[in-house]
Each structure stands twice: as structure tokens, then as C-alpha cells.
Amino acid sequence: MKDMLWELMNPLVMGILLGGLYATIALGLSLTFGVAREINLAHGDLVVLGSYFVFWMTSRFGWDPLLCLSFGVPLAFFLGYALQRYLLNYSMRLSEDTVLVVTFGIAVILQNLMQIKWGPLSRNLTQDYLLRTLDLGALYIPLNYLLDFVAAVLVMVALHAFLKKTFTGKAIRASAQDVTAARLMGIDVQGMYSITFGISCALCMIAGTFLGMTFPFTPFTGPTLLIIAFGIVVLGGMGSIAGTLIGGMAFGVVQTLSGYFLGLTAQMLVAFAMVLVVLSLMPRGLFGR
């Protein structure tokens, strides 16, 4: 019995670390959903776009992926801000369905743009130094998993600090809780939505970078990411950063454990099934409002 538990330690720890990556992927979605009640069907594709952007930069300029972030994050923020301000705010005013159709259209466009530019075969951003494994006795931890988790925690701490400490962060939280009251406080709520979506896209860029460093990706990886991200957001509660991390870890652990017991193919299936279960059991999430 003790041996079995010992053996499970490795997939368990890997699952927790993987959860960090998942949480980063889901974070942007959690933010926009929590603040603007907006579902972005192109979310997964935006993450993959981030991966491809960094891929493009590393193959063109030879930079390390993490360095590319210094360019990518502000770029993503501005693109996201513009997208929300000039397209999505208007779509939201029309109807909820409009947003779904429009973001679906964006998803289709992104997927095919990426396919045209980079082809349907998978790519990755793995660097040699990432392929090392930490050997801690019973545990073999791939370095990139650890890096993913550390990055996830850093990003979440930064986001939390932003939301809690700055005026804009407070304004965003206020807009999420009561739109009319926020407007009465002098907050331009639509502007807040734009900023939030900008942050969300910046998070997608970060998530895409770490995703690419850990797993191969194709132009069509997006929908899978969206589905898992949504499952995490619902499980952890919209707009709750800690909840997203916990949700991510839950998914990570379930995946690695089912991979351990049932094999690689079952992993994805179990993840998908888990999303359906989560969606049907708790549309309101454990931590959120």
C-alpha cells in the first residue's frame, strides 16, 4: 500500500504543477467572465496565437521565449483592449448571443490564419534548458512543469495585487459587482471592460508562451484549451483567482492520475468528461459569486 502511494506521488505532484499552467490558461477567461459576464469562444485560440507569436519571434530573432514576453505582453494588451473597445463592447450591447457568434467567428479566423501562416503540423517552444529534470529521490520533476507553476503563481500574485491595490483594479472589481453603482462612482464601465479584456489577452500571451514551452501545439489546439479553461473557471468560480488556481490543479491532478492509470489517450477524454460533469453539477462554481 505504501509503495503504491509513493508511486502515485510523482503523477500527483506533476498534476499539481501542471495545474499551474492550466490555471494560467484559464485566468484570462475567468477575468472576463467574472467582470463582464462575457464568454470569449476565441479564448483558446488567443492562447495558441500567443504560442505562435513567440514561436515566430524565436525563429526570426533567436530570442529566448521568456524574453519575447517583454514584447508580446504589451502587444497583446493593446490588441485585446482595441478588440473589446471597438468590437466586443458593441456586440455585448446587441445581445449575449451576438458575442458568442462574433467570438466564434474570431476563433475560426484565427485558427485558419495560423494554419495558413505556419501550417497544420505541430510546433513547440521547448528550449534545451527546459528539458532537464529535477531528481528529488522519489520524484522526477520536469523543469518546465516547475517553471510553469512558478510563473502561474507569480502572475496570479501580480494580478491580485493589481486588483486589490490600484485604483483601476478596484474600479474593475466594482464594475464586476454592480454596474450602475460603478457608473455612479464615476467609473467608465465600458472602459473597464476594455482594460480587462486587454489584461486577459496579455494573460493569454503569457499562457501561450508557457504552454508552448511545455507541450506541442497546432493551429487547432485552441478549442481544447477553451473547453478545459471553461471547466476550470466554472469549478473554481468566476473571477476568483485562488479558485482558478485550485480548479487548475484539480484538473491537472485528475489528468495525470488518469494518465497514470488509464494511459495517455484516456487522459484527454477524462479531462473533457470532467468538464461536462463540472458544467452540469455546479454552474456557479465553488468560490465565486
Q: Least CB distance from residue 3 to another protein, whole Å?
A: 31
Kindly state the cell numbers that stand for 107: 476563433
Q: Least CB distance from residue 141 to another protein, whole Å?
A: 28
Site for another protein, rule CB under 8 A = 39, 41, 87, 90-91, 94-98, 100-102, 104-109, 111-113, 115-116, 167, 170-171, 173-174, 177-178, 180-189, 223-224, 226-227, 230, 234, 265, 268-269, 272-273, 275-277, 279-280, 283, 289
Backbone angles phi, psi at 218, to 5 degrees: -125, 170
- With respect to another protein, which residue has the nearer C-beta, 174 or 213? 174
Cα separation, 211 vs 60, in Å, equals: 20
Q: Which residue has the cell 478549442?
A: 223
Cα separation, 221 vs 193, in Å, equals: 27
- With respect to another protein, which residue has the nearer C-beta, 113 or 143? 113
Kindly state the cell numbers that stand for 263: 494511459
Q: Least CB distance from residue 187 to another protein, whole Å?
A: 5
Cα separation, 199 vs 81, in Å, equals: 8
Q: Least CB distance from residue 180 to another protein, whole Å?
A: 6
Q: What is the DSSP letter of 69?
A: H
Q: Least CB distance from residue 262 to another protein, whole Å?
A: 12
For CA atoms 205, 125, 145, 43, the dihedral sign is: positive
- With respect to another protein, which residue has the nearer C-beta, 65 or 123? 123
- With respect to another protein, which residue has the nearer C-beta, 13 or 106? 106
